[in-house]
Structure 1
Amino acid sequence: MTIRCCFILHDGFSLITLAAITDAFFVANWQAGKSLYTWDTVSAHGGPILAFGNHAISTDPLETVSARKMDIVFAVSSFDPHGLANAPGVAGFLRAAHRFGARVVGLETGGVAMARAGLLTGREAAIHWANRDGFEEDFPDIRLSDAPVNRAGRCLTCAGGASAIDLALQLIEEDAGTDLARTVRIHLLYQQGRPETANSLTSGDSPLVTKAIALMTRHINDPIALPDLAEQLGSSQRTLERHFQKGTGHSPQAHYLALRLTRAQNLLQQTTLGIGEIAAETGFDSLPTFSRAYRNQFGLSPSQDRKQTTTASVPRLYV
């Protein structure tokens, strides 16, 4: 049996995420000696679609494929998830494909389109970690998973990047068995494992710093003073400062402020919340204080950053 797939693209998608799936499917076909998977690449209106590295992918109009005939439908977006979610015909196509029995998959930020289509309500989903803040604000009834790949019935979501290979191998194992999935993994030279998260990239090797960052992250809107933070961690302030300097290269106060401002930037770029609301959400008592801190961190005001990045959902600062 041939499994027919459809990839729905929107400008600014991740080429590596798309290629991770299609390359794995190609190898599966090759190793099986038959066309296990076929796929169409479409967009709302058809024509060339640009990945975020300016690589153009040719697509057919969405109306040229039938939701009824699809076995797997992939919603593929990265920097502009709402562009895909709001593109003409996309939400209806996703709902129809799911209703007719297809598996529907959101790649990287494609879960936003699935959420807009009502497919993830009350479920758990995975999304790229840089987009969690905006997603949680827009869809408070959808739980976000810490796992890079999540399945809820026939709805699958994937955080993107290398984890898309994990997803592809999971689909191949489900459709054609463990042996073929293992053969594909070996051919792709892929060592399965969980990708790093934002916190794991910034905490160094110190368990104390890791715990401190986790506590800071839970208290973005009500910041904890450094002495109280150290006390809650069972540490002295001096020890905490020394570990931060060694593990991150800067002080705990600077790291905490950067975490708050990164969340502020996420909310600016990924939601329609007012600037005053965002200031309060990130623990600033006044708008002037927030604007001054934001300008010091990013080199421009919150209102300028929002205007400059209306189509960019991924923050530029990684602390």
Structure 2
Amino acid sequence: MGTPTDASRARPGRKSPRIDPPAPISVGFVLVPDFPLMAYSAAVEPMRAANTLSGCTLYEWWHAAPDGGTVRASNGIEILTDVDVGSAKRGTDRIFVCAGGNPASFVDPALFAWLRALAHGGATIGGISGGPYLLARAGLLDGRRCTLHWEHVPAFEENFPGIDVVRSLFEVEKKRVTCSGGIAALDMMLHLIERDHGPGLAAGVSDWFLHNQMREGLSPQRMDLRMRFGVRDPRVLRVLAAMENNLETPLSKDVLAGLANVSTRQLERLFRDLMDRSLHRHYLDLRLDRAHQLRRESALPAAEIAAATGFLNSDELTRAERRRRDFGAEA
């Protein structure tokens, strides 16, 4: 026999006690031109689903953009904003800045001041994909831990060495929430829905979107190396990981061979057979890709970019880039 409900305990002829739904949580989205639509959708749609599944308005949301009006996503779709940057938006609980493209080049003192004012008013401030870059520019991540999309991490670390960057899906630290973007925004929102309204509703929303595993915030952003390169040989995997972790001071072939516990000749043969490219070519491309990211997303001088990617000077970096451009990635 089940536990008596409030209705069964009520006296005959009396109505069951009315349970009012909680006040809606107000969420703002600041969309920067060329924002990633997938990350934005993965953040807003779980709130819609939570409202639908619960049968009441648990969340309300609004949109703003630096220039107001409509703001275009990276795929060309436009969102109509309904709040002006700088307006006194009282009662907002959370604000998420969603940015993509090249957030390092975005500077908007008026927007940054508004975000600081909202934070001072008690709102939780969040960043999605490249959004944490803008929060750092606004001084809202000082002394805090954050995450952002892996593509933006190298330039971010160069520009904000005092901020602790974690390569996770999302980070929730008191009044700051940062997310690496993509479908990780769904995992972040499921975490917040669980915190707001319990695990049952969060699981229901996850199931609604055919998302059969709610990932923890500290889950890795990127695919496992085995999946990314289609390689299962543990010797090559150790070398690949070492290369990615040592771009500023490249490891010698002898050191890499030692990590694989093979000779340099055998390691070269493994790379040719399993990666279809030379050991040197793969390592060089990793460094050149990092240099390209830093050049695009930071204001570092050429000499510092060269030093950060293991080149003796900017001239050596330029020559390596020219050779790749002129002769192709496998030159």
Bucket of the pairwise TM-score, normalised by the shorter protein: 0.7 to 0.9
1:197 aligned partner, one-letter code: R
Distance 1:112 1:101 in 2: 21
Q: Equivalent pairs: percent with the same residue?
A: 33
With 231-240 and 126-135 compared, the bigger mean Cα shift is at 231-240
Matched with 2:131 is 110
* Structure 1 residues 41 and 112: CA distance shift in structure 2, 3 A: same
Question: What is the CA-CA distance between 1:232 and the residue it aligns to?
Answer: 3.9
Q: Deviations over 1:167-204 (max 9, x none)?
A: 01011111111100000000000133446517732473
TM-score normalised to the size of structure 1?
Answer: 0.87
Out of 120, 133, 138, which is 2:159 matched to?
138
Out of 268, 273, 277, which is 1:250 matched to?
277
Q: Deviations over 1:138-195 (max 9, x none)?
A: 1101111121111221101110001110001011111111100000000000133446
Q: Deviations over 1:269-302 (max 9, x none)?
A: 01111112212222222433321211232459xx
Matched with 1:9 is 31
Matched with 2:201 is 180
Regions of 4+ moved over 6 Å: none
Matched with 2:305 is 278
SS of the equivalent of 1:269 reads helix
Contact in 1 for aligned 2:235/2:261 (Cα 8 Å): no
Question: What is the CA-CA distance between 1:252 and the residue it aligns to?
Answer: 1.6
Out of 256, 265, 270, which is 1:229 matched to?
256
2:268 aligned partner, one-letter code: E
Alignment: residue pair count: 300
Question: Is 1:45 the counterpart of 2:67 in the alignment?
Answer: yes
Contact in 1 for aligned 2:150/2:221 (Cα 8 Å): no
* Structure 1 residues 248 and 154: CA distance shift in structure 2, 3 A: farther
Out of 256, 266, 287, which is 1:239 matched to?
266
Distance 2:175 2:235 in 1: 40
C-alpha RMSD of matched pairs (Å): 2.2
Matched with 1:189 is 210
Which of these two proteins has the greater Rg computed from alpha carbons? 2
SS of the equivalent of 1:60 reads coil
Q: Deviations over 1:185-238 (max 9, x none)?
A: 000001334465177324732332332123223332222221232124433223
SS of the equivalent of 2:82 reads strand
Distance 2:68 2:26 in 1: 19
Question: What is the CA-CA distance between 1:136 and the residue it aligns to?
Answer: 0.2
Matched with 1:313 is none
Q: Deviations over 1:222-274 (max 9, x none)?
A: 22221232124433223322333344321221111011101111110011111
With 131-140 and 198-207 compared, the bigger mean Cα shift is at 198-207
Distance 1:140 1:64 in 2: 29
Out of 243, 251, 266, which is 2:293 matched to?
266
1:136 aligned partner, one-letter code: E
2:169 aligned partner, one-letter code: P
* Structure 1 residues 164 and 246: CA distance shift in structure 2, 3 A: farther
Question: What is the CA-CA distance between 1:67 and the residue it aligns to?
Answer: 4.3
1:255 aligned partner, one-letter code: H
Contact in 1 for aligned 2:105/2:297 (Cα 8 Å): no
SS of the equivalent of 1:106 reads strand
1:104 aligned partner, one-letter code: I
* Structure 1 residues 88 and 57: CA distance shift in structure 2, 3 A: farther
> Tell me, which stretches of 5 or more residues in structure 1 are unaligned?
301-316
With 27-36 and 97-106 compared, the bigger mean Cα shift is at 97-106
Contact in 1 for aligned 2:85/2:114 (Cα 8 Å): no
* Structure 1 residues 270 and 287: CA distance shift in structure 2, 3 A: same
